[in-house]
Structure 1
């Protein structure tokens, strides 16, 4: 049984941590493949005060204090693992953590950087030729990315990565699945996402303007950071929506909206966690347009693709509840058949074993 030391933002809390669902789905599925995993996360950003799951039985979780001393002690534990993973966006001394973790990794261990926001990371690397990650790439066995197609793969290879492989978001059917609707989440369109600088303009275009254009419709806005943003009267602010309520939100609204961040939309091939959460609950999903969407869901049959806010408003006017339910049901069938974390983990297991064999033979 191979061991993994995994350094990420948080497994226990989705609070200001969009990668939580991705980590949970992937690591649970890798554990089912036979890997023994320890997840190391810093106690920062009040995440430990806002846990939404207990430590799971499929992964050991180590929470370390937000101090350099505690970081170094946690990084030293990497010496015990067969596979060492440092993720992007951990949120506390990321550059130092990368250096310490890879320094601690024993000879023969697989060294992996797992990028959960490749567009942002690549922009940093291009702007800083002496960036610690850029200097470290040549000593890593591979880069895994949360999304991104050929442009992201080529960019990492040009920067010195030996290999770059996308491991796309997926569905964990044990976590996201159809449930009974709840009156508190009933509405015509629900959007769930924290406010981020490179999402504001697209939220205004794809959510706020359609809300103003269809005053007869009821809109639900979930996520943190929106309290100071002006919204039309037909928008109900939900604030932070715990993961345990995502299924109910997704099944209760007639449609659910996905809005990519600017950088994700520009790069394409980056389906958000929300895409699979909504599809897994059997929701009718409207997504803003981005390259590669058809690789995951078929437009018009399994997902509705909006070029702009006018398209969103038109879907609200023209798609009756029965068609919305049919689209949601088709999306659920597709993701269960092709886009589960079990399938992603099986592919990743093959990749890890191949790299381990190559390392042993060298």
Structure 2
């Protein structure tokens, strides 16, 4: 492959950011990839919960199309067959059958983009194959992983991925930048409810809020249980659209990053929150996990905390000197290595390097009438 590429992406959702972080990751990456001159078609499964909360119906940087079911996906076979590269994302509905279909039809490079790698591996270990199975891993030419570090070797050694490369989340630096807004909150958190994050959220945000009623906090995101006892000084926002993320971060003295248990165990899994908040000039307080120091320097570019007292000491410091110093250093680090432009260039390099391992068969219409595996 060389020059301008035709790329097809089958992902969880590009059109809706409600309850998932995939949309913001795809939007930043694909926008930057298109800016490099490549042509992108994004195929999204039409599901009612995203259709009801759609906040990007017609992106200017790619062709966005919907299919209702597997039979509806078949009509895109010529597009998939003619693409230079086809990428299937994690959590795609009926992803195993979609993956088999892509591997059978595609002539160009096939890749799996896992934005949930530690969760995926935990599912595989338990025999759950709702969107990926071991044999599919070996059938893709390239495994792009949200997680780096030792996980990449595991994917190749245990599961037979021909090539596994880290493709972390990133931030669109043109959209995420410092804003001149009033600081409404001392500490914010943006994230969908997850049971395995809740204990750390309790420790690093809710308990500090109880002990410091004079400070202001906010938790933004859907699906939190109704029985959570929110302190009076914790504001709740059900959803913040991506277009409002920069203002949300800018209105916070600090923002909190809390990592899911599987990702803490695997390490080397930086959340998009780290990149977005830092690009907006808001310093991040984060839980600790292996590999975080490869992304941002603890103490100078990010603050690591495991207990309530550490958070309170930081928030109750009346001086803005340390906060501003961390914010400047973090933003500089992100702009130097973690923007969507960096990731787009890496994506194209990886796709061009991962040529299909077997000669592509000619496109034959009768084969597309067969039932998907």
Common topology (TM > 0.5) = yes
Of 2-11 and 222-231, more deviation after overlay is shown by 222-231
1:102 aligns to 2:87 (yes or no): no
Residues 138 and 186 of structure 1: is their aligned pair in 2 closer, same or farther, counting only changes over 3 Å? same
Residues 76 and 116 of structure 1: is their aligned pair in 2 closer, same or farther, counting only changes over 3 Å? farther
Cross-structure match for 1:71: 73
Q: Distance in 2 between matches of 1:221 and 1:357?
A: 45
Q: Distance in 1 between matches of 2:171 and 2:218?
A: 23
Residues 193 and 129 of structure 1: is their aligned pair in 2 closer, same or farther, counting only changes over 3 Å? closer
Secondary structure in structure 2 of the residue aligned to 1:189: strand
1:186 aligns to 2:191 (yes or no): no
1:285 aligns to 2:281 (yes or no): no
Alignment of 1:204-219 (within 5 A): 204-219=202-217
Displaced runs of 4 or more, over 6 A: 357-360
Cross-structure match for 1:93: 94
Q: Deviations over 1:82-117 (max 9, x none)?
A: 111111112x222221222222212xx111111110
1:241 aligns to 2:245 (yes or no): no
1:3 aligns to 2:44 (yes or no): no
Q: Using CA pairs under 8 Å that are at least 6 residues apart, name the structure with larger relative contact order, 1 or 2.
A: 2
Q: Extract unaligned runs of 5+ from structure 2.
A: 360-373
Cross-structure match for 1:298: 297
Residues 120 and 357 of structure 1: is their aligned pair in 2 closer, same or farther, counting only changes over 3 Å? closer
Q: Distance in 2 between matches of 1:80 and 1:237?
A: 47
The aligned length equals 354
Q: Deviations over 1:104-156 (max 9, x none)?
A: 212xx111111110111111222229886211222221100112322343244
Alignment of 1:89-238 (within 5 A): 89-90=91-92, 92-106=93-107, 109-128=108-127, 133-182=133-182, 186-226=184-224, 228=226, 229-238=228-237
Residues 359 and 314 of structure 1: is their aligned pair in 2 closer, same or farther, counting only changes over 3 Å? farther
Q: Extract unaligned runs of 5+ from structure 1.
A: none
Tell me the CA shift for residue 76 of structure 1. Answer: 6.1
Secondary structure in structure 1 of the residue aligned to 2:331: helix
1:314 aligns to 2:313 (yes or no): yes
Q: Distance in 2 between matches of 1:174 and 1:130?
A: 38
Root-mean-square deviation (Å): 2.1
Q: Deviations over 1:291-349 (max 9, x none)?
A: 11121211121111112333222221236334212211221111112211111222232
Residues 112 and 99 of structure 1: is their aligned pair in 2 closer, same or farther, counting only changes over 3 Å? same
Q: Distance in 2 between matches of 1:347 and 1:18?
A: 21
